[in-house]
Amino acid sequence: MKLAYSTLACPGWSVEQAAQAVARYGYDAIEWRLADGEVITPQTPASVKARLVEATKKEGLTVACLDTSCSFVKATEEERRQTVQEARAMIDLAAELGAPYIRVFGGKIPEGCTREEMLEPSGKALGEAARYGKTKGVTLLLETHDDWASSPDNLTLIQAAGPEGLVHILWDVHHPYRMGETAVETINNMLNGGVISHVHIKDARRDDTEPLGWHLTLLEEGEVPVKEIVGLLQEAGYEGYLSLEWEKKWHPDIEEPEEALPQHSTLLRHYIKEAEESNGITG
């Protein structure tokens, strides 16, 4: 397993500063989400996109994933068509960056609609975008998030998109846990129904004053069983990235990236080493 970090962690940094931080703080790759503190979208200025590509090349970076805001569960055909077009534009940017994946969401189930009736049309749109991605060497990752945070719900939407392997799983370790799943339940569900290709790491503790009822914390200051999860992934043969999603952009009160990035990389490497040793793997 290797380490990456999402630029969601550093809204105060430029593209170039974010790229330079990868090696400085002990990571193997970058996950582009913000550029100069702003969310990357198809509307991001061409000059900024060019700097993303230039900084990635200059620092010799591997891009683990390009994160998008594309949400496929929409009430109307026109909204779904617009999402597919947005996804295609982000796939093109991912290909230019050399990113093998883009992250997408299911999204909120529209008011007045049921999960069941949303599966067929939303899955069709997701599958259309995923097939375009395949032509560019880019795979769509559906994150365990929002109304598709539980692993069974996430898998139903992935399966509605098309044949197995068309859309892969991005396991955000916090969200299934806050939905009441144990780490063992989540990984068993996923391994039995899909392909885990990327993992977002974060820790959190329950806090009734927060909108979702959770406050993000540094590793080992919350209750998400991150160390256990790393061990389970090792046992399962996972060889992808553990990517720190430190949501400083959305939660400006949490620790600065200068503290959070090295704290996470140090502990995660320790977890990986322990997991390898417990499975009889030596360096």
Q: Looking at the predicted structure, is the pLDDT value of residue 159 above 90?
A: yes
Report d(CA 23, CA 28) in Å as an integer.
7
pLDDT value of residue 281: 67
Nearest Cα to Cα of residue 257 among 33, 64, 77, 54? 33
pLDDT greater at residue 121 or residue 283: 121
Q: How far apart are the first and last CA of the chain?
A: 13
pLDDT value of residue 20: 98
Q: Looking at the predicted structure, is the pLDDT value of residue 90 above 80?
A: yes
pLDDT value of residue 139: 98
Where exactly are the structural domains of the chain?
2-278
Report d(CA 281, CA 274) in Å as an integer.
10
pLDDT value of residue 282: 56
Residue 93's pLDDT band (boundaries 50, 70, 90)?
very high
Residue that has been written with the tokens 């990357």 in this structure: 40
3-state secondary structure the chain: CEEEEEHHHCCCCCHHHHHHHHHHCCCCEEEECEECCEECCCCCCHHHHHHHHHHHHHCCCCEEEEEEEEECCCCCHHHHHHHHHHHHHHHHHHHHHCCCEEEEECCCCCCCCCHHHHHHHHHHHHHHHHHHHHHCCCEEEEECCHHHCCHHHHHHHHHHHCCCCCEEEEEECHHHHHCCCCHHHHHHHHHHHCCEEEEEECEEEECCCCCCCEEEECCCCCCCCHHHHHHHHHHCCCCCEEEECCCCCCCCCCCCHHHHHHHHHHHHHHHHHHHHHHCCCCC
Which amino acid is located at 227 in the chain? Answer: K
Per-residue model confidence as pLDDT tens digits over 173-188: 999 999 999 999 999 9
Residue 280's pLDDT band (boundaries 50, 70, 90)?
confident
Report d(CA 233, CA 235) in Å as an integer.
5
Residue 283's pLDDT band (boundaries 50, 70, 90)?
low
Per-residue model confidence as pLDDT tens digits over 125-136: 999 999 999 999
Residue 253's pLDDT band (boundaries 50, 70, 90)?
very high
Nearest Cα to Cα of residue 243 among 31, 60, 20? 31
User: Mean pLDDT, to the nearest integer, of 46-63?
Assistant: 97
pLDDT value of residue 3: 98
The answer to pTM > 0.85 is yes
Q: What percent of the chain shows pLDDT beyond 70?
A: 99
Q: Does domain 2-278 have CATH number 3.30.70.270?
A: no
Assess contact for 102 and 91: CB atoms under 8 A.
yes
pLDDT value of residue 40: 98
Which amino acid is located at 38 in the chain? Answer: E
Nearest Cα to Cα of residue 138 among 186, 107, 111, 103? 103
pLDDT value of residue 279: 78
pLDDT value of residue 88: 98
pLDDT value of residue 114: 96
User: CA of 7: how far to CAs of 70, 230, 276, in Å?
Assistant: 17, 22, 28
Residue 199's pLDDT band (boundaries 50, 70, 90)?
very high
Residue 278's pLDDT band (boundaries 50, 70, 90)?
confident
